Amino acid sequence: MKVYNTLTQNKDEFIPNDQEHVKMYVCGPTVYDFLHIGNFRGAIVFNLLRNWLEVKGKKVTYVYNYTDVDDKIIKRANKEGVDSSVISERFIEEFEKDFNRLGLTPHEHNPRVTEFMDEIITFVDDLVKNDKAYIVDGEIFYAIDKFSDYGKLSKKKLDDLEAGQRVEVDVRKKNPYDFVLWKPSKEGEPSWDSPWGKGRPGWHIECSAMIQGIFGKETIDIHGGGIDLIFPHHENEIAQGEGRTGCQYCNYWMHNNFINMSGEKMSKSLGNVMKARDFMDKYHGEILKYLFLSVHYRSMLSIDSDRIFQVISALDRIYSAVELANNVCESVEGDGTVDKNFQKTLSDLNMKIMNSLDDDLNSAEFISFIFEGVRAFNALGFKTKKWNANHKENSKVFKSWIHSKGAMAALFQEDPTEIKSRFDEILIIEKEINIQQVEELILKRKIARENKNWEESDKVRDELVNIGIELQDGIGKGWTIKK
């Protein structure tokens, strides 16, 4: 297995420190509001990575933290006139509702900063003793000049960093890019006792302390997060971790890219941020997961209405095949045999899926192979509905295959009939389809066909096609929404 390592800027062979046990940490949310969909890209991507490592036989300890001490949390708490813990607890609970709604695998640890305050204070004290940090007026700064490898993750060089640019200049700092490890709390802020007086931690020290508090001071295998965290957050984590122990902090750094909404980078300043809760209410969690995994995690992902319609169409095809397999299994008695060519196709696809996920978690290629399996299944001759025991056996094999492969990505686990109905509901709203008009046109066409007025029948069919309706003469309700 190879992963793209931000540290080396290469696809490196993944070799964990312990061949049987992978230690993995991913930066989680700052819990002051509902999370937007971009926050969930990492959660969905690294869920697949973790599940794939387990399929490969590894034990994975996955740590995903909550930042529950932060200026944004304090600001909201003061605005609402409550303690900051009320805000963080509320939005941890809301995040977990969204997380569970997506069906992602629970993490082994979800540490909160407030639970690791003793570890943070000890960590900072060690950095001071190691001459990697200095104290000014009860505030402690990391001295980046004392860490010769600073910049090795982001490839930024200290000489190239322009003092004052994108950094708030503090005359107390020895270097403008020295960063805060511990700071005195202001009135109305949460605080903890420390050797330097009452205060609270800086942002960067929190992850380093939770990692070493849970995993110990040994090198961890994987550290993940969004590309926006490479500098300064992850760069500073390395400086802290290695400044404390003298050992490599993490071997493999993996970063997922941003998303665009309707052609623009999603940001609060542009007002195009969509909360994950709102997306799932409007569409479905399955659509969000498929969106993120249909492109490589290191690629920019653009989301607009057309892209969402494409995803609905793709998911509908997959779930239609699962629904067909269910119907066959329920309709046919007795046992049959599996088509040998179909069995070989699935076996070949298993190897292709393994190779794609081993190649830097290529989820887009993985999904393309799912479609190859769907096509192979549909080609087994189900259209006549003269199903036999062999059709049933092939359906059972297909259902098991797609369920197990999808489970790695938390996809394709929904009831097919229910989710297909949900897709129709979404498209009716999004495409502003008038159901009454559709039914009237279908009745008009039925009368024309009964009167053998084929010209009128074709004209009505064209009208239906123009408003996004596909007719299915002799099947079920007789029409579907074009997907």
pLDDT at 270 over 90: no
184-210: average pLDDT: 95
Instruction: Give the chain's largest Cα–Cα span.
Output: 94
321-336: average pLDDT: 95
Residue 129's pLDDT band, with cuts at 50, 70 and 90, is very high
The answer to whether 357 touches 52, Cβ cutoff 8 Å, is: yes
271-288: average pLDDT: 92
226-265 as b/e: b if 16+ CB within 10 A:
beebbebbbbbbbbbbbbbbeeebbbbbbbbbebbbeeee
Q: What is the C-alpha separation between 437 and 115, in angstroms, rounded? A: 59
Task: Specify the pLDDT at position 390.
Answer: 96
Distances (CA, A) of 240 to 151, 237, 314: 13, 5, 46
* Torsion on CA atoms 385, 391, 392, 394, rounded to nearest 10: -140
344-348: average pLDDT: 98
Task: Specify the pLDDT at position 439.
Answer: 86
137-154: average pLDDT: 96
In percent, how much of the chain has pLDDT > 70?
95
Task: Specify the pLDDT at position 265.
Answer: 63
pLDDT at 164 over 80: no
Task: Specify the pLDDT at position 264.
Answer: 66
End-to-end CA, the chain = 36
The answer to whether 21 touches 59, Cβ cutoff 8 Å, is: yes
Q: What is the C-alpha separation between 125 and 115, in angstroms, rounded? A: 18
pLDDT at 15 over 90: yes
113-122: average pLDDT: 98
330-346: average pLDDT: 96
Residue 384's pLDDT band, with cuts at 50, 70 and 90, is confident
394-418: average pLDDT: 98
Answer left, alpha or beta for residue 5, where phi above 0 means left and psi between -120 and 50 means alpha: beta
276-282: average pLDDT: 97
10-21: average pLDDT: 98
Task: Specify the pLDDT at position 22.
Answer: 98
Q: If you average pLDDT over every residue of the chain, what do you get?
A: 93
pLDDT at 163 over 80: no
In percent, how much of the chain has pLDDT > 90?
84
Question: CA angle at residue 120 from 104 to 133, to 5 degrees?
Answer: 125
pLDDT at 476 over 90: no
Task: Specify the pLDDT at position 240.
Answer: 98
**Domain 2-256 matches domain 286-424 at the CATH topology level:** no
pLDDT at 463 over 70: yes
155-174: average pLDDT: 72
- Domain segments of the chain as ranges: 2-256, 286-424, 432-481
Distances (CA, A) of 330 to 52, 324, 375: 32, 10, 21
Task: Specify the pLDDT at position 249.
Answer: 98
> What CATH number should be reported for the domain whose range is 2-256?
3.40.50.620
Question: Which of these ranges, 188-192, 245-249, 479-483, has the smallest mean pLDDT?
Answer: 479-483
99-108: average pLDDT: 98
pLDDT at 275 over 70: yes
Encoded tokens for 242: 């290695």
Task: Specify the pLDDT at position 302.
Answer: 93
Task: Specify the pLDDT at position 192.
Answer: 97
pLDDT at 4 over 60: yes
373-397: average pLDDT: 95
Residue 482's pLDDT band, with cuts at 50, 70 and 90, is confident
More confident residue, 479 or 331: 331
181-187: average pLDDT: 94
The answer to whether 255 touches 248, Cβ cutoff 8 Å, is: no
pTM of the model: 0.92
> What CATH number should be reported for the domain whose range is 286-424?
1.10.730.10
Residue 167's pLDDT band, with cuts at 50, 70 and 90, is low
Residue 268's pLDDT band, with cuts at 50, 70 and 90, is low
More confident residue, 157 or 140: 140
Quick: pLDDT tens for 410-446: 999 999 999 999 999 999 999 898 989 988 998 999 8
